[in-house]
Structures are given as C-alpha cells and as structure tokens.
C-alpha cells in the first residue's frame, strides 16, 4: 500500500488565493518531499523537509511537518494559473524506497 495520502483529492481556487493541501503517512520517515506534475509531464521536485525540521520555505511555497501526527502540509501563496498541476507528497525512509501518495489536483482559475 502507498505510504502517503493527500487531501483533498482536488482543489479549485481563484488566481491570487492561497492553496493548501495535506499529506498523511503511516510509518516513520527520514524526510518528506513534495513534487509537482503538469499534465502529461514528468514530476518536478519542489521541496524536501527532513524529519527533524518543522517548517521550510521556498519562494511562494511553505511546507510544514508534524511527525507526531504523521502529517505534512503544502501551502502555495498568491496562486497563479501556472500553478495548475497535480501535487504529490513522497516519503523517504530507511527501507531505500521513496513512496508517493495519490496526489492533489489543483486548478487555478483566472
């Protein structure tokens, strides 16, 4: 079974609004990563947060990690049409596997 589960499955927002999506996982991790996938393309790495970190920023992205709740959130601020994509969380652990969730599809309306 997959390690991560994203919530919600789909999200539609107006340009300029913030988008928040969550990821829950089941077992202990070394790190959690977020990826973006535009339609028909490969995945692109956005940000990595290690298990001893609680928050990380990269441009308009903010990621939090709560290891006690086994959950993470990705916030995209001031969304743009170009942010329309699917977003996946992935967990890295000691078993040499990077495991992905099913993803959140984000649509940014102009």
Partner 1 sequence: NAGVTQTPKFQVLKTGQSMTLQCAQDMNHEYMSWYRQDPGMGLRLIHYSVGAGITDQGEVPNGYNVSRSTTEDFPLRLLSAAPSQTSVYFCASSTTQNTEAFFGQGTRLTVV
Interface contacts to partner 1, rule CB under 8 A: 1-2, 30-31, 33, 35, 41-45, 48, 88, 90, 92-93, 96-103
In the bound state with partner 1, the residue whose beta carbon lies nearer, of 48 and 75, is 48
DSSP state of 100: E
CA distance to 5, 11, 61, 85, per residue, from 48 (Å): 17, 22, 11, 18
Nearer of residues 18 and 58 to partner 1, judged by Cβ? 58
Phi, psi angles (nearest 5°) of residue 99: -110, 135
Rank residues 24 and 93 by Cβ distance to partner 1 and give the closer one. Answer: 93
Cβ closest to partner 1, residue 18 vs residue 38:
38
Minimum CB separation from partner 1 for residue 58, in Å?
12
Smallest gap from Cβ 56 to partner 1, in A, equals: 13
Peptide bond into 73 cis (omega under 30): no
Q: How far is the CB of 71 from partner 1 (least distance, A)?
A: 17
């Amino acid at each position: 079974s997959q390690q991560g589960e994203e919530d919600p499955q789909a999200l539609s927002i107006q340009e300029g609004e913030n988008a928040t999506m969550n990821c829950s996982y089941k077992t202990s991790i070394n790190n959690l990563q977020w990826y973006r996938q535009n339609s028909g393309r490969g995945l692109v790495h956005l940000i990595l947060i290690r298990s001893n970190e609680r928050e990380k920023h990269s441009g308009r992205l903010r990621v939090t990690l709560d290891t006690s709740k086994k959950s993470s959130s990705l916030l995209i601020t001031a969304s743009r049409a170009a942010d329309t994509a699917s977003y996946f969380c992935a967990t890295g652990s000691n078993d040499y596997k990077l495991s992905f969730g099913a993803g959140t599809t984000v649509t940014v309306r102009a």
